[in-house]
Amino acid sequence: MRLLERMRKEWFMVGIVLAIAGAKLEPSIGVDGGPLKPEITVSYIAVATIFFNSGLSLKTEELTSALVHIRLHLFIQIFTLAFFPAAMWLFLQLLSITPINEWLLKGLQTVGCMPPPVSSAVILTKAVGGNEAAAIFNSAFGSFLGIVITPLLLLLFLGSSSSVPFTSIFSQLSVTVVVPLIIGQIVRRYIKDWLERTKPPFGAISSSVLLMIIYTTFCGTFSNPNIDLDKFSLVVILFIIFSIQLGFMLLTFIFSTRNNSGFTPADTVAIIFCSTHKSLTLGIPMLKIVFAGHEHLSLISVPLLIYHPVQILLGSVLVPTIKSWMVSRQKGVKLTRPDV
């Protein structure tokens, strides 16, 4: 299963490249009013499909055992949805005086506002041997919180960039995000045994729909002659994203390993991944809603599209190192016990 998940993620990254290349070759297919009719098929049907799929796949009934770790959950959610976007905003005030493309900088802010992903943080936590139950809980709970908090954060930090009224945004969020998610959870209650037995390819379905959203988003970009993305800005943004990811992973490690933190080594592993990873599956549809009709939507989306593979790459590379640290720390804890 772990190998299949890894292969799916690799093919998804290839799919992102092909989707952007396809949009570059023939943007007229995916623009508003084009053959794909993205103003209907993407804005409503595709987004609703992703969140209905999330509702079906989220195993919320298995999260009750993790509820008792209140301090751990508070740390992860506050870091993810408060500290991260605030720190990003302060950092971008410094970068605003540089020649980096302003819409890519706004895209970095949207990365900070995103909720945690449903899968990657859990998979990496499990690979290390960390607190998997806490990772599952915070990924699922963070996704639910993100439905409300992420649009509010986007409007707080980038409100002037949105061409859609506040009430219209939340009306569409209700129709395409909240309602499908709730329906998915209700349906899951009745077909849970069948889902556990057949294990439908939820990840592949969401990834396929997401590629369609990415394709139509970039069709809008390449059909607009006024948009120009310089290579310097793109390379700098890539370097910044690597630095942010590593810096925040180190920061969460330092905070969670203090003597009075109260977190176990397994908790620290879940904190490192859940606090710093951001959801592409939930993020792109939300950007599509909040910035509907905005001519620079695709540029705003670029940092999130980069952040997604970076977090998986860095996480995978660091798994052996983090696992070695966790095992040695756990052995040290056992040796210091009086009864050992």
- Going by C-beta distance under 8 Å and a sequence separation of 6 or more, which residues neighbour residue 68? none
Determine the residue type at 236: V
Mean pLDDT of 89-93: 93
- Tens-digit pLDDT profile for residues 52-84: 887 787 666 656 666 677 889 999 999 999 999
DSSP state of 161: G
For the whole model, what pTM was predicted?
A: 0.73
Question: Tokens in use for 289?
Answer: 């809603």
Percent of residues, the chain, with pLDDT higher than 90:
19
- Tens-digit pLDDT profile for residues 247-300: 999 999 999 998 887 888 999 999 999 999 998 877 888 887 778 777 778 788
With 70 as the cut, is the pLDDT of residue 204 above it?
A: yes
At 340 the pLDDT is 43
At 162 the pLDDT is 46
33 burial level (CB within 10 Å; 0-12, 13-18, 19+): exposed
At 250 the pLDDT is 95
Percent of residues, the chain, with pLDDT higher than 70:
84
More reliable by pLDDT, 278 or 127: 278
Banded model confidence at residue 159, pLDDT cuts 50, 70, 90: low
With 50 as the cut, is the pLDDT of residue 161 above it?
A: no
User: DSSP H helical segments within 177-263, as ranges?
Assistant: 179-198, 202-222, 231-256
Q: What is the DSSP string of 166-189?
A: HHHHHHHHIIIIIHHHHHHHHHHH
CA–CA gap between residue 103 and residue 303 (Å, rounded): 10
